[in-house]
Structure 1
Amino acid sequence: MRMKSRNTVNTAVFDFGGVLADEGFTNGLHAIAGANNIDPGKFALEALELIYSSRYLTGESDEHSYWDAVRRHTGISGEDKDFRDTILEGFTLREWMFDMLMELRRDGVRLFMLSDQTNWLDELEERYHFFHLFEKVFNSYHTGKSKRDQSLFNDVLACMNLNPETVVFIDDTYDHIVRARNVGLKTIWFQGRKDFIKEMRQYFPELKD
């Protein structure tokens, strides 16, 4: 039986890190900071801004250039491969979330991923094989735009011929939620499992726990 939805919502667009998986980038950066005996919060903020300003996130530069920029600006030492491995280990898939994806998919809900990621997301796909659950994966590394650019949301809607009133977007970054709302999407700001399931049931009442 097709899952009934309210407000004609029949499509869900999910962020990856912080929603479908633990926030591996932040977790990994904190681990790298610890290994270098520097403040993890400050380091994570600097490294986050550098992944945007270096344009690695949008596929306009490579990973080595990014880590070189991080080393120059923060003074850390280490090899690219070790940093990458630390980041990737920080992404733990949330089994309960993927159970929900499979339930939604069985019930005819259209599923997409919209993530500000690099080629690291492709490496995680090689490890865990989850892209098949989505009609399409939009990764900033391949789209050339991040979710800091509001036009990306319009691009996704146009690419998949979606009506924004039929789409719910889930993300753990509030600024991304605001941009999605600005183009007419329904939104859920992910802050934890219990509240998330409650909010999802506003659109898909038959969802299990």
Structure 2
Amino acid sequence: MDNIKNIIFDYGNVIFAIDFLRTQNALSQLGIPNVKEFFAHKGHNKLFDDFETGSITPAQFRDGIRKVANKLDLTDEQIDDAWNSLLIGVSGNNHDVLLEVKQKYRTFLLSNNNKIHYDWIIAYLQKDFGFNNYDDFFERAYFSQDTAMRKPNVEIFEMVLKENNLNPAETVFIDDSPQHIEGAKKAGLRTLLMDVHPEKLRNFLQLHKLL
């Protein structure tokens, strides 16, 4: 891609591997009916939108799961374990890739996230890599639960552009979700759909002449 000065990365299945099927299976075992409609890559119940925008607390999210499963005796641990089954880990040498990219571009992270997943990820980064957050890898990291907005809504993209004085014509957004790509396009961003496993991130960036 020509004339790119800034890159905004999604997190899940771009840098960090996640597995929706594992979570569907785990939620089904909790008693969630019609789990493929309840939680999937391209669509899900409003409960998840509310949690990802910080509109509800972890306790309220867990109560929502209990209600849908019709099992009020589900423990917090059972629900958290099922929900966190989505999270696999950072793929390959992607932290090294991010540092290399940061030498060439202004880089940002924009992730739909939630308090339960965020806490798990931070504990994982501390334990497996010895760092507390993503400050070393991005100029700034944005998480939906802190902004009261989520992708694909155009407002969250416009916020990142405005707060960092980014020209959308010089900025590429990389995400694995087609619906998020469409939201970014509405903000004028250039976009790339991540259509390979995150362990192939370096190859993907090289293919599109960003490395």
Q: Using the alignment, how far apart are the partners of 1:185 and 1:200 within structure 2?
A: 20
Structure 2 equivalent of residue 28 of structure 1: 23
TM score, norm. by length of structure 2: 0.80
Structure 2 equivalent of residue 69 of structure 1: 64
CA separation of 1:173/1:37 partners in 2, compared to 1, >3 Å: closer, same or farther? Answer: closer
Structure 2 equivalent of residue 97 of structure 1: 94
- Please give the per-residue CA displacement for 1:17-64, whole angstroms capped at 9, x wherever unaligned: 222112256633432313548554244258643211xx2211121011
Structure 2: tracts of 5 or more residues without a match = 126-130
Q: 1:117 aligns with which of 92, 109, 113?
A: 113
Aligned-pair CA distance for 1:178: 0.7
CA separation of 1:21/1:192 partners in 2, compared to 1, >3 Å: closer, same or farther? Answer: same
Alpha-carbon contact 1:117-1:139 (below 8 Å) kept:
yes
Structure 2 equivalent of residue 3 of structure 1: none
The alignment status of 1:85 with 2:45, answered yes or no, reads: no
CA separation of 1:151/1:103 partners in 2, compared to 1, >3 Å: closer, same or farther? Answer: same
Structure (1 or 2) with the greater strand fraction: 2
State the SS of the aligned residue for 2:39: helix
Number of aligned residues = 197
TM score, norm. by length of structure 1: 0.80
Q: Using the alignment, how far apart are the partners of 2:157 and 2:32 within structure 1?
A: 39
State the SS of the aligned residue for 2:183: helix
Structure 1 equivalent of residue 134 of structure 2: 131
Alpha-carbon contact 1:9-1:167 (below 8 Å) kept:
yes
Aligned-pair CA distance for 1:121: 1.7
Structure 1: tracts of 5 or more residues without a match = 1-5
Alignment of 1:161-176 (within 5 A): 161-176=165-180
Work out the percentage of aligned pairs sharing the same amino acid. 24
The residue identity in structure 1 corresponding to 2:67 is: R
Q: Using the alignment, how far apart are the partners of 2:57 and 2:5 within structure 1?
A: 37
Q: Using the alignment, how far apart are the partners of 2:27 and 2:91 within structure 1?
A: 23
Alpha-carbon contact 2:196-2:204 (below 8 Å) kept:
no
Q: Using the alignment, how far apart are the partners of 1:47 and 1:185 within structure 2?
A: 25
Aligned-pair CA distance for 1:173: 1.0
State the SS of the aligned residue for 1:111: strand
The alignment status of 1:197 with 2:200, answered yes or no, reads: no
CA RMSD of aligned residues (A): 2.6
